[in-house]
């Protein structure tokens, strides 16, 4: 089965240790650069941590290294805490920037960005008597189901009339399409790309339920035998669609800001709204970071530096404020779009479409 990355990210966003600053270790790794990066980061973190935090880090890293050996993927993300007996490994579809983060919660921003940029979809390849259904998630393809039917293609002389032959053939094709539709309803939970030669795919589309038709994002004309080219074109098509969706999200934010509508922008306003559960769509700049802190006791998050929480006197941890906004968005079920659109930079690098004010 494919990985449901949205569920993984939601689960990770809710993982937190209120009593420690440095409990969870997050590793994003391109294995081709494994040796130097991981060794240096592990040495530095071990030297900086003290007492129980250092002990937990050492044990956690031992487990992480064992998990790396067992995972065959070139790119991997691992989230772990020996203290909490918590470990999760995810194979990634694309190269990632190497990162080893020690914090009170898993670092999910790179994972959320991959999820945003690699939309899952269902691919249907069919003609009048043969069909294959694929599930594509994180750039990986899994063959879900193959179906075929012995459709009569030639009319023999001296037998049925031409009209009767055509009725029987159409009935057989319709029955086959119904079988494919039933399989598709079980497999498709997201976007659908419909492909195949000739008119069969269009006839199939015309008989689908409204719910399935609304999920179709593209129809491709391609040979029934050219699966590899189809998969390549489909992934490229979905990627283009995601970039378009990102541009539209920024445009929507811009329009709402100009008319003083259901939108906020900038760190402080967006943080407040996302903590209140008012955010419908979070729009965040891809590679931008805002240095800040979070209070381990009262959960106040602010930019800048301090030695203790000015509100309750509690212990603070240094954080990327945009990472904290992202985690709040995941916990409250907001949609998330990453963008490199410079217009968002003018709005403080982050903004949100609201459910209500």
Q: What is the pLDDT of residues 288-325, one digit of tens each?
A: 999 999 887 888 899 999 989 999 988 888 889 999 99
Q: What is the pLDDT of residue 1?
A: 40
Cα separation, 304 vs 166, whole angstroms: 75
Query: CB 336: neighbour CB atoms within 10 A?
Result: 22
pLDDT at 345 exceeding the cut of 80: yes
Q: Which residue has the higher pLDDT, 178 or 315?
A: 178
Question: pLDDT category, 7, cuts 50, 70, 90?
Answer: confident
Q: What is the pLDDT of residue 32?
A: 83
Mean pLDDT computed over 322-336: 93
User: 142: which strand partners?
Assistant: 135
Q: What is the pLDDT of residues 129-174, one digit of tens each?
A: 889 998 887 667 777 788 877 655 554 544 556 666 567 667 788 8
Closest CA to 79 of 109, 53, 118: 109
Q: What is the pLDDT of residue 153?
A: 55
Say which residue the tokens 């772990």 belong to. Answer: 80
User: 76: which strand partners?
Assistant: 29, 91
Q: What is the pLDDT of residues 103-134, one digit of tens each?
A: 888 999 999 998 888 878 899 999 988 899 98
Q: What is the pLDDT of residue 150?
A: 64
pLDDT above 70 covers what percent of the chain? 91
Q: What is the pLDDT of residue 2?
A: 45
Nearest-10 Cα torsion for 333, 334, 339, 343 = -160
Classify 121-225 by CATH class: alpha beta
Does 3.30.1330.30 match the CATH number of domain 245-357?
yes
Q: What is the pLDDT of residue 21?
A: 67
Mean pLDDT computed over 326-342: 93
Q: What is the pLDDT of residues 223-275, one digit of tens each?
A: 888 888 888 888 888 888 888 899 999 999 999 999 999 999 999 999 999 99
pTM score, whole prediction: 0.76
Closest CA to 174 of 139, 198, 211, 208: 208
Q: What is the pLDDT of residue 16?
A: 80
Q: How high is the mean pLDDT of the chain?
A: 87
Mean pLDDT computed over 23-31: 93
Q: What are the start-end ranges of the H helices in 188-278?
A: 200-207, 210-213, 227-258, 267-275
Question: pLDDT category, 73, cuts 50, 70, 90?
Answer: confident
Please provide the distance, in angstroms rounded to a whole number, between the alpha carbons at the two ends of the chain: 40
Q: What is the pLDDT of residue 166?
A: 63
Closest CA to 315 of 57, 93, 21, 62: 21
Q: Which residue has the higher pLDDT, 29 or 18?
A: 29
Instruction: Enumerate the domain spans of the chain.
Output: 1-116, 121-225, 245-357
Cα separation, 28 vs 195, whole angstroms: 35
pLDDT above 90 covers what percent of the chain? 53
Q: What does the block give as tokens for 271? A: 């943080």
Looking at 3.40.50.970, 3.40.50.720, 3.40.50.150, 3.30.960.10, the CATH number of the domain 1-116 comes to 3.30.960.10
Q: What is the pLDDT of residue 159?
A: 53
Q: Which residue has the higher pLDDT, 200 or 297?
A: 200
């Amino acid at each position: 089965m494919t990985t449901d990355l949205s569920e993984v990210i939601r689960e990770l966003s809710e993982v937190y240790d209120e009593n420690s600053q440095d409990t969870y270790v997050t590793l994003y790794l391109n294995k081709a650069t494994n040796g130097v990066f991981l060794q240096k980061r592990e040495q530095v973190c071990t030297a900086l941590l003290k007492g129980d935090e250092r002990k937990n880090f050492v044990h956690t890293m031992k487990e992480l290294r064992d998990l790396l050996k067992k995972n065959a993927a070139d790119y991997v993300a691992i989230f772990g805490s020996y203290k909490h007996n918590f470990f999760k490994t995810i194979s990634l579809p694309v190269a990632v920037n190497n990162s080893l983060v020690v914090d009170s919660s898993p670092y999910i921003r790179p994972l959320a960005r991959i999820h945003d940029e690699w939309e899952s979809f269902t691919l249907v390849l069919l003609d009048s008597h043969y069909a294959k259904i694929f599930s594509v998630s994180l750039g990986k393809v899994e063959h879900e189901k193959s179906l075929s039917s012995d459709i009569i293609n030639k009319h023999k002389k001296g037998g049925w009339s031409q009209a009767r032959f055509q009725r029987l053939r159409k009935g057989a094709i319709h029955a086959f399409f119904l079988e494919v539709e039933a399989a598709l309803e079980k497999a498709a939970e997201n976007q659908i790309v419909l492909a195949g030669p000739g008119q069969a795919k269009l006839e199939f589309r015309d008989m689908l339920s409204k719910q399935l038709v609304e999920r179709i994002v593209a129809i491709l004309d391609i040979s029934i035998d050219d699966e590899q080219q189809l998969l390549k074109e489909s992934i490229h098509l979905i990627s283009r669609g995601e970039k378009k969706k990102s541009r539209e999200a920024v445009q929507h934010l811009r329009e709402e800001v100009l008319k003083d509508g259901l939108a906020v922008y900038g760190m402080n306003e967006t943080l407040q709204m996302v903590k209140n559960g008012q955010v419908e769509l979070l729009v965040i700049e891809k590679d931008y970071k805002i240095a800040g802190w979070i209070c381990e006791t009262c959960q106040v998050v602010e930019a800048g530096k301090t030695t203790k929480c000015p509100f309750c006197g509690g212990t603070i941890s240094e954080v990327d404020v945009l990472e904290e906004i992202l985690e709040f968005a995941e916990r409250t079920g907001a949609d998330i779009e990453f963008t490199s659109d410079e217009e968002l930079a003018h709005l403080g690098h982050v903004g949100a479409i609201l459910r209500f004010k």
